[in-house]
């Protein structure tokens, strides 16, 4: 298949950008059938918004980097051990360390 550079108008900002032969070959090798609708800068801005990135160019999920989750310190309701959980505990609900959770989960289901 023979590719040629194409000029495309960005659907977000209206600027004209070039969809190069190299980009077209890359798209084809990945099995993409549609041409890009956004220019590279609008694509990057959209990715940042979708990832909650707020323009931080140091974050790159494509290489396996994800920011550390916010953890909350708690005492295990079963054994009393200090631990952390990835959610904000509700008052009146038991919270378990990972060992006790495995025990409780197995017995309740």
Q: Does any domain span residue 1?
A: no
* Residues 50 and 87 occupy one common structural domain: no
Quick: pLDDT tens for 41-91: 999 988 888 876 554 555 555 566 677 788 899 999 999 999 998 888 888
Report if residue 35 sits inside a domain.
yes
Residue-range definition of the domain harbouring residue 79: 72-108
Which pLDDT does position 5 carry in this prediction?
92
Number of domains comprising the chain: 2
Which is more confidently placed, 61 or 105? 105
Q: Where are the alpha helices (DSSP H) in 1-109?
A: 21-29, 40-50, 98-108
Whether 65 maps to a domain, the answer reads no
């Amino acid at each position: 298949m023979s590719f040629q550079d194409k000029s495309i108008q960005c659907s977000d900002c209206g600027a004209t950008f070039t969809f190069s032969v190299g980009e077209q070959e890359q798209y084809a090798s990945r099995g993409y059938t549609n041409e890009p609708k956004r220019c590279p800068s609008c694509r990057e801005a959209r990715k940042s918004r979708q990832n909650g990135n707020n323009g931080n160019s140091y974050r790159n999920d494509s290489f396996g980097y994800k920011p550390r989750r916010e953890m909350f310190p708690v005492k295990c309701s079963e054994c009393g051990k200090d631990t952390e959980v990835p959610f904000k505990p509700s008052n009146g609900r038991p919270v378990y360390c990972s060992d006790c959770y495995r025990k409780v989960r197995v017995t309740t289901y």
